[in-house]
Amino acid sequence: MLKLHRHSLAAATVAVLAFLLLYASVGEAKPYAAWRWMDIVAEGGMALVAGLWFVMTLSSRPGGLVTRLLAGGLAAIMLGSWADCLDEFFRIEKAAAWDNWLEALLPFGMLVLTAGIYYWRHEQFMVNDHLAKRERLFRQHRAFDRVTQLADAAYLRHQIRLEQERDPAGQCALVMLDIDGFHRINRAHGQREGDRVLQAVGHMLLLNLRNEDLLCRYAGDRFALLLPGLDDQAACLLAQHLCAMVANMRHHGPHGLLPVSLRYACTPAQGEADGLLARVSAALDSAAMPPAQVRPPAPAGLD
């Protein structure tokens, strides 16, 4: 990551050396006995720590406004503290205003850093909102699917059981989605492009879900959604919305735009997990076109 910011690192290094040469050439060196070690340690330590934070910021972030503000503020704090520290080694005439201006970089850097933290805070809110959609998965990180980084079928079964235990009488729906003609995409463009399609669909679905919803890669090109608090009708409406979002997605394949569409089946999440998943998967297999919907079996004696 530091290679992306080599110009910023070079500029900061040149500035540190330029400050030293400026004070050494214009100022008068103070005798050793006049050095105030407490000020040297405090001001030099602040410059060193700010410089370390500057490098750490650049090593952990891509370019952009937030990175520029954070790194720029830290660089100004570093240089202002460095100028303060050099004052302890060189005597500058009180009439020289440039020394005060250089030291004023410290409060200026704090203002810039504050602006950077403000925008970073908004950036982090958006990141947290996206990560919250995967919160259930992070509680059991071993359940990642390698391609999509979503939960797998085993984790879905576990969560269905937990949801039923948590609120046996509550509403909860299960939706299964399948990519139309996915085998043709793999055959025409290769498995790598097929994986890219799976990732793109997964991201699009996540962006249109609530934080409490669980998205899993069930198998192959199939995704499953566990939707707490939604009844069958609301789940089907959401599934239609998700299908429309994916259909409008502009996925660029090796030879231009690659159309991607989904079909779905939905059912209340009632009953044993394996049987429930088998029923909704069978309904999806038999669906010639969306919408497809499967109902739970009627209780015994009500035939």
Q: What pLDDT is recorded for position 135?
A: 55
| Structural domains of the chain in order of their starting residue, each with its CATH number | 2-132 (no CATH), 142-293 (3.30.70.270)
The token pair that represents 5 in the structure block? 């910011």
Q: What pLDDT is recorded for position 133?
A: 57
Q: What pLDDT is recorded for position 130?
A: 64
The tens-digit pLDDT sequence of the chain (303 residues) is 677 888 999 999 999 999 999 999 998 899 988 899 998 999 999 999 999 999 999 998 888 899 999 999 999 999 999 999 998 999 888 777 888 888 899 999 999 999 999 999 988 887 776 666 555 545 554 557 788 888 888 888 988 998 888 888 889 999 999 999 888 888 888 889 889 999 999 999 999 998 889 999 998 899 999 999 999 899 999 999 999 999 998 888 777 788 899 999 999 998 899 999 999 999 888 865 444 444 444 444 444
The pTM of this model reads 0.52
Q: What pLDDT is recorded for position 132?
A: 62
Q: Give whole-number Cα distances, 195 to 191, 202, 244, in Å.
A: 6, 11, 21
Q: What pLDDT is recorded for position 139?
A: 52
